Structure 1
Amino acid sequence: MLAVLAIAVKDLRLALRDRTAAFFIFIFPVFVALFFGVIFSGGGGRGAGKVPIAVVNESKGPRASALVADLRSDDALDATEIPSRAEGEQGVRRGRFTALVIVPDSFDASVLSLFAGGGLTIELVTDPSRRAEAGLLEGKLNELAFRQLGSLFRDSSAVSQMTSLGKAAIVAAPMSDEERSALSTVFGGLDRYSTALDAASTKKRTDAGADTGANADAFEWRPIRVKVSTVLDERKRPRSSYEISFGQGVVWGLMSCVTGFGASLAEERARGTLLRLRTAPIRRRQVLLGKALAAFLACMIVQSMLIGLGQLPMFDVTISSWPLAMLAVIVTGIGFCGLMMLLAGLARTEGGAQGLGRAAVLVLAMIGGGTIPLFFMPPLLQTISGISPFTWATRLIDGYTWRAFSLAEMASALAVLLAVGVIGFAVGTIFMRWQED
């Protein structure tokens, strides 16, 4: 056992003496976690998750101004009012805005002509590469336009104007007497509604102590109300963007451990260092266990360092269960220790090990949550990412942080990483034996 520890300590010292290797194993993952944390927090100045749009109000009427105000106050949009259409189109072309919303000068008049065959017209200029956001904006504009129609029915003068225009339209429109009579009945009812609304408004203004402002907004016509809820409760959602980027930093740290120690082991085998160690009074198994222990300890150090960093108040990374976190850290170290042994066994030379690290391991890290968080990936890529050990490590990290998994919920990821560790160590050892023989 002392021989195994001596070899592990020697490898860790060599890794620390190589400043470049030490930087990418222990320091670079911290920068990755900080970088993605700032990106996901909306550190560029816009609200996180909001769609940036430009708004041009050509009408300047009360209805158009109310629509623009609703756009600017909407939680899903980051609306900026600009003076001209040309400026907005230029902003969309340059990527500053996702889309341009134009409220034409005929907007207020078109609202009043609703019963005369008219309708609300709003122009939307979009970036062709942002089709998903364009669909969201079209639905949002329909919602806010319906809200303006609701406000119309609280304005007796607006209802009276719409009714008058509607009556004039049915006189000139080609239709049967029955249809004209039915529409006349509808408009007659709207006339009575307008008169009653005007009388009620007058009474409220004259009643002593009446709260006119509150009563004016007491009725809001919204034909569809969507009640939104989430699957996760407040305890099981990210409290900060760093709870998401934390896992990405760990992924890059584990990748550096695998590639660094895998290349080191391949280099020692190619240069005869392992052969010289075999002449010492220690077994081959002890040599390989010492190498694996060094990689395991490095993986543990990287994870522990990022966990400690996440506990600082500025990052606010919550550990839901410390015992489960410790278990996940140990099992993750075992899994990637086995992956390192497999990498070293498959590569005959240092260059081959580095090539595998740059190709296979980098791709596995990218699809395993190193660049895009797993829940941001499209369904097909999420399915494919199951082949990556980094995916299961990321699920464990999310599990003992913001998702607050139980042991049963973490069991599958723990089992996969244990299997990767055991199988990787066994296969890597067999390949190294064949190559030496």
Structure 2
Amino acid sequence: MSGMLAIALKDLRTFSRQRISLFFTFVWPLCVAVLFGVLFGGSNRPSPRLPVAVVDEDGSAASKAFAEKLVARATFAGVRATRAEALEAVRKGQRVAAIVLRPGFGEASTRLFHGTPPEIEVFTDPSRQAERGMLEGLLQQQGAERLQTLFTDPASARPSVRQTLEELKRTSPGATPNLESFLGQLDTFLGSPDAQPAAPAPGAAAAPAWAPLRIVQQDLTRQRTGPSNGYDVTFPMAVLWAVFGCVMAFGTTFASERVRGTMVRLQVSPLSRGQILAGKSLAALLAIVIVELLLILLGVVAFGLRPSSWGLMLVAMLCTGAAFVGIILLLASMATTEQGIGGMAPAVMMPLFLLGGAMVPLMVMPPWLAKLSVASPVRWAILALEGAIWRDFSALEMVVPCAILLLVAAATFIVGARRSEVA
């Protein structure tokens, strides 16, 4: 074990002294993440039409008319739904809000200027404060429009005015004399000469202020089902470009040592060939995991990355590192010179990166290309990293991408080790 560690430390020191390798394993991937993160970040602007789900739990003619007008408003992208469907749509981020017309909405709509107004529940994500304020203003505006329509239609206004006046006299006679006077005069104006304002009762409490609508705001935290910003998408891509830099650096080192006879000198040491390969593979694995971790930590500190699980993140990094260590060994066993691996590695890796989502994000790939991408280990590495950052993968969901990466690691390591023995 001490010999293996010595070889690993030697390769790590060699890697750290190669400035060009450090540039392509850290600086260049960071530039990719920031540049594309800024580009993708511009796509998160809120839509000018608020996507809402409207639920009518009252079922009256008044609530049905209100709901239909709400859905048809130009400021809303509204759909009708049940309560369960509407709340689920808000949780998943498919709708900004669920607007629920409570039972009794139609009956309350007949009351004017007193009592409990028609009640609406609005379920929104508490983080969407701007949309909440805008939504409440639009609902109050429609409530006022409902009142305006009522007054412009005398045939429908008179029954509401009389009913309100009678209810005031029955429940709290004299408590609101000005309101009773106003309603009486309004009733007279609409054609009824019977209304008379009642005298106030001594010591009666003032009635609560009336509003066109009563809106009850409810918090409903949205489930994270997508990236919170552009950097959630680009940093997994950047990590794979860092891995590409490690593949080039360590692949070149492996081939160089075999060509220059360093491997032959190591083989005459007490270490077996297997221990030598294990030590060199350990160095490559540590370098890959360290670079991956540094990039993710930088993303957390400076760019708002919030991994859903650090444990799964570490698993994804290790499995990614193992897969590409095997690929390094396989490529090094196929090259006979440093120049050979310098040409072979990009020729092999670039198609895998293009197909696997390191150049075009998996989430925006055309369906036909996404199907082909399953052949690339890059896809499974990015999927594992995204699963720990923003896809909210469970441990069970992480099994598939990690198992495929480990199978790639085993297959490439075995083939690469055997080819190295022949060489």
TM-score class, shorter? 0.5 to 0.7
Matching residue of 2:381: 393
Q: How does 1:7-156 map to 2 (within 5 A)?
A: 7-42=7-42, 48=45
Change in 2 beyond 3 A, CA 1:35/1:199: closer
The letter for the 1-side match of 2:328 is: M
CA distance in 1, matches of 2:21, 2:44: 37
CA displacement, residues 20-78 of structure 1 (integer Å, 9 cap, x when unaligned): 11111122222221111111112xxx865989xxxxxxxxxxxxxxxxxx99x899xxx
Amino acid at match of 1:377: M
Instruction: State the alpha-carbon separation in 2 of the partners of residues 49 and 257 from structure 1.
Output: 39
The 5 Å alignment of 1:246-257 reads 246-257=235-246
Q: TM-score when scaled to structure 1?
A: 0.57
C-alpha contact 2:326 2:408 (8 A) present in aligned 1? yes
Cα separation, partners in 2 of 1:201 and 1:400, compared to 1, 3 Å: farther
Q: How many residues align?
A: 273
- SS class of match (2:417): helix
Contact 1:240 1:315 in 2 (8 A): no
1:279 Cα deviation after fit:
2.0
Q: Return the alpha-carbon distance in structure 2 between the equivalents of residues 353 and 48 of structure 1.
A: 45
One-letter amino acid of the counterpart of residue 300, structure 1? V
CA gap of 1:74–1:377, structure 2 versus 1, over 3 A, is farther
Structure 1 equivalent of residue 153 of structure 2: 200
Aligned residue in 2 for 1:330 = 318
1:288 aligns with one of 277, 280, 284: 277
Deviation at 1:403, TM superposition (A): 0.8
Q: Does 1:260 align with 2:263?
A: no
Change in 2 beyond 3 A, CA 1:47/1:358: same
Measured against aligned partners, the alpha-carbon deviations of 1:144-195 in whole angstroms (never above 9, x if no partner) come to xxxxxxxxxx9xxxxxxxxxxxxxxxxxxxxxxxxxxxxxxxxxxxxxxxxx
Using the TM superposition, give the Cα deviation of residue 274 of structure 1 relative to its aligned residue in structure 2, in angstroms: 0.9
Counterpart residue identity of residue 345, structure 2: G
Contact 2:30 2:238 in 1 (8 A): yes
**1:361 counterpart letter in structure 2:** M
Look up the SS of the partner of 2:352 in the other structure. helix
User: Alpha-carbon deviation of 1:416?
Assistant: 0.6
Would the aligned equivalents of 1:251 and 1:369 in 2 still touch at CA under 8 Å? no
Q: Secondary structure at the match of 2:328?
A: helix
Alignment of 1:227-242 (within 5 A): 234-242=223-231
1:281 CA drift (Å): 2.3
RMSD: 3.1
* Alignment match, 2:262: 273
> Judging changes above 3 Å, is the alpha-carbon distance between structure 1 residues 281 and 239 closer, same or farther for their aligned structure 2 residues?
same
* Shift in CA distance, 201/316, structure 1 to aligned 2, threshold 3 Å: farther
CA-CA distance at 1:203 after TM superposition:
10
| Structure 1 unaligned residues grouped into runs of 5+ | 52-69, 76-153, 155-195, 211-217, 219-231
Seq. identity, %: 39
Corresponding position: 1:363 with 2:351 = yes
Asked whether the 8 Å contact 2:29–2:239 carries over to 1, the reply is: yes
After superposition, residues 185-224 of structure 1 pair within 5 angstroms as 200=153
Task: Tell me the CA shift for residue 269 of structure 1.
Answer: 0.9
Q: 1:29·1:252 contact (CA, 8 Å) conserved in 2?
A: yes
- C-alpha distance after superposition, 1:268-324 (max 9, x if no partner): 111211112212222111211111111101110111112211221x42211112222
Residue in 2 that maps onto 1:353 = 341
Task: Describe the superposition over 1:325-379 as per-residue Cα deviations: whole angstroms up to 9, x where unpaired.
Answer: 2222212211111111111112222122111221111221122121111011011
Whether the 8 Å contact between 2:256 and 2:338 is mirrored in structure 1 is yes
Residues 128-153 of structure 1, C-alpha deviation per residue, up to 9 Å, x if partnerless?
xxxxxxxxxxxxxxxxxxxxxxxxxx
Correspondent of 2:396 among 401, 408, 424: 408
Unaligned runs of 5+ in 2: 49-72, 78-144, 162-181, 187-212, 214-220
Are the aligned partners of 2:26 and 2:295 in contact in 1 as well (CA < 8 Å)? no
Equivalent position of 2:191 in the other structure: none
C-alpha distance in structure 2 between counterparts of 1:74 and 1:347, whole Å: 62
SS of the residue 1:236 aligns to: coil
The answer to whether the 8 Å contact 2:150/2:156 transfers is no
* 1:274–1:200 CA distance, 2 compared to 1 (3 A): same
Mapped to 1, the partners of 2:154 and 2:247 lie a distance apart of 75
In the other structure, the counterpart of 1:6 is 6
Pair 1:298-2:287 in alignment: yes
Separation of aligned partners in 2, 1:315 and 1:263: 33
